[in-house]
Amino acid sequence: MSLSDLIHDTVGICSEAANLRKQQRLNRLYSHENGARPLVFVRPTRAYLRQKYALDLQLVYQDPQEYLKTELLTKLETYVEFDDDTPVWPLVEMWLGSPFEMSLFGTECIMLSESDPRWGAPVLRSLDDVAELLRPDFDSTGMLPLAHRMYGGLAELVSGRFEVRFPQWQKGTLGVALVVRGDSDFYTDLYDNPEGLHRLMSHIDRVAAWYEEERNKRFGVSKGDGRWGYRRYRTLGNDEVDCNLISPAHYLEFVYPYDRSYTGRSAEGVYVHSCGNLTPLYREIAALPHLEVLHISPWSDFFRALSVVDKSIILEKAFYQQDSYFQADVNKMAEEIDNLVRAAREAGRLFYFLVDADVFGDKENKRLQEWLRVCRESIARHYGEG
């Protein structure tokens, strides 16, 4: 399908009655309206799209036409292939990979054809050198020249038919520090140089605040992270906050103050994401300013979150194609998902289910469709037909 056909089809879907109903259901969920129901989302990753459409991801991240094609294919995949609850919006949210924020401190971004970009070696050999870290320039530092070129190209291609958003800062302070300093040195610093480590964390937080202010002056304040059609709020990406890797005590001393600073600057609500184990930190994370949605990974305890996290916070219960729910037979899958839905209903909680589609294939897509059906049947059983 040509890019012009993709644009035409996506514009048409935006005004379809079925899509408008999906938008309304999502709005009711986020507004906590009476009668709001849990929703179910499938998220086709770029790894999935690369397999299905033979994409060269090195081009996707550097060529505006390939980037736009991939973004529109993502929208069509959820709407047509899976027909989940994800609405389609006339929006292109730029995301240039995990190394984006780290590149502002001098970390190399490595582009690859078969995977998302990766970061290079640590750049901070000693915490005594924090003051010497690269002072970013919004036009010329790291991946920013690429971001400006991609933004201009995308804006020209869509010609006003979609809103194009310049990349927002999403990475948590811990994630940036681990890359800039290096994992082993960072964890050693927790014990050997705590004051120096705080200087690094504070510096990263100041750069994040500078970036947000400069971005908003040039491109306007964006209302949340719209890269995925179901997401509404600004993202704090905290995959590295994992109580299997960093102790709750160390998180609270060295990371939490900067997470609070980050979320406290948000004019909108905040979505906190971590693929790690957050269970021991639920109470503290739930107290972050402006928190609206909390990601519950397969390594965090959903049932514990139901009782500990304030009911005003929507829970994003995540699944992966490799986790136990997808390895079980369909009856076992249905039983385990029904346990989640029943517990959430009894606790009076709003939530949604999300699965990352990383692997494309007939067998895998059939399994995703079974998961969608099982989730919807369970929600209908406990919350009524929607």
Q: Which residue has the tokens 């059906």?
A: 373
Please give the pLDDT value at position 336. 93
Helix residue spans in the chain (DSSP H): 3-14, 17-30, 46-53, 57-60, 64-76, 99-103, 144-158, 173-181, 183-192, 194-219, 248-254, 256-264, 282-286, 302-308, 324-327, 330-347, 362-383
Q: Please state the length of the chain.
A: 386
What gap in Å lies between CA 186 and CA 146, rounded to an integer?
A: 29
Please give the pLDDT value at position 226. 76
Q: Which residue has the tokens 């079974």?
A: 370
Please give the pLDDT value at position 268. 81
Q: 282-332 pLDDT, tens per residue?
A: 999 999 999 999 999 999 999 999 999 999 999 999 998 887 778 789 999
- The CA distances from residue 46 to 71, 81, 252, in Å, are 9, 15, 34
125, 28, 45: which is closest to 357 by C-alpha?
A: 45
Please give the pLDDT value at position 227. 77
What gap in Å lies between CA 150 and CA 154, rounded to an integer?
A: 6
Model-level pTM? 0.96
Q: 199-213 pLDDT, tens per residue?
A: 999 999 999 999 999
Please give the pLDDT value at position 323. 79
User: Secondary structure of 256-274 in the HEC alphabet?
Assistant: HHHHHHHHHCCCCCEEEEC
pLDDT per residue rounded down to tens, the chain (386 residues):
899 999 999 999 999 999 999 999 999 999 999 889 999 999 999 999 999 999 999 999 999 999 999 999 999 999 999 999 999 999 999 999 999 999 999 999 999 999 999 999 999 999 999 988 878 999 999 999 999 999 999 999 999 999 999 999 999 999 999 999 999 999 999 999 999 999 999 999 999 999 999 999 999 887 777 777 888 899 999 999 999 999 999 999 999 999 999 999 987 899 999 999 999 999 999 999 999 999 999 999 999 999 999 999 999 999 988 877 787 899 999 999 999 999 999 999 999 999 999 999 999 999 999 999 999 999 999 998 76
Please give the pLDDT value at position 132. 81
Integer-rounded Cα Rg, in Å, for the chain is 21
Q: Do 103 and 142 touch, CB atoms closer than 8 A? A: yes
